[in-house]
Amino acid sequence: MFFPRYRALISGQFTLFSLSSFCSSSCSHTVAAPPRRKFFARKSSLDTRTNRDTDNRRVMPSNVEIKAKVSNPMQFAKRASELSQSEGTIIRQHDTFFNCTQGRLKLRDFMNESGQLIFYERPDTEGPKLSRYSISPTSDPPSLRTVLSDALGVKGEVCKERRLFLIGQTRVHLDAVEGLGDYMELEVVMRPEQTVEDGQKVAEELMQQLGVSKQSLVMGAYMDLLLKGHTDT
């Protein structure tokens, strides 16, 4: 009687997953279209099939993103306003990045007693790239920052003023990043039925409409650019 129960216990599996997404606060860089592939899912060797079913039930939100340096922010804002038919929304952000063995973990403080803890993963390539992420809101960013700083250590901080425009399914950001300068980000919020290629096409078409050249594309997050010593130019 004991042995069958024991076998039932050890036949279980554990699934590890990783997410991907984002940082937008006060600093970042460019990227090229990644090959279509699955990341962010690790499977237990005990039962690959069952693990795959578990992964399918746990679908993480995803974006296709583009980041670029902006030489003329006023001109960019004018084009974004015309396409979005709005003047955009101003958002202040202070991002604190913590040491993390996989992906990126950051706490975003909106400087109004609200914030978000964000974990995300995305490839560091030029052009449109897939980003998967997980977000948890917080009403006490300073307290959470203290706990995470003690537990993990701080990798760096990014401060910026963001102007957000909504164009179709895309979030268009015009960022004035402290220590870096002016940048723009496109975040195509993927729909369940869309492929990565669909998102890349939306991003590339909007990039052309906004007058963003391929030469201005940057790779990596604002935090990466700051750590590499990039400065305002």
Query: Is 10 a domain residue?
Result: no
Task: Give me the domain span that covers residue 56.
Answer: 16-227
Query: Is 44 a domain residue?
Result: yes
Query: Is 136 a domain residue?
Result: yes
Alpha-carbon distance 119 to 106, whole Å?
A: 6
Is residue 67 within 8 Å of residue 128, measured between CB atoms?
no
Please count the structural domains in the chain: 1
Q: What is the DSSP string of 78-97?
A: HHHHHHHTS--EEEEEEEEE
Residue 217: name the closest of 25, 32, 27 by CA: 32
Alpha-carbon distance 28 to 10, whole Å?
A: 45
Query: Is 232 a domain residue?
Result: no
Alpha-carbon distance 76 to 206, whole Å?
A: 12
Query: Is 219 a domain residue?
Result: yes
pLDDT in single tens digits along all 233 residues of the chain: 444 444 444 444 433 333 344 334 444 444 444 444 433 333 333 344 434 444 443 466 889 999 999 999 999 999 999 999 999 999 999 999 999 999 999 999 999 999 999 999 977 776 778 889 999 999 999 999 999 999 999 999 999 999 999 999 999 999 999 999 999 999 999 999 999 999 999 999 999 999 999 999 998 899 999 999 865 54
Query: Is 145 a domain residue?
Result: yes
Q: Amino acid letter at 53?
A: D
Query: Token pair 């914030």 is at which residue?
Result: 115
Provide the CATH number for the domain around residue 212. 2.40.320.10
What global pTM score does this model have? 0.71
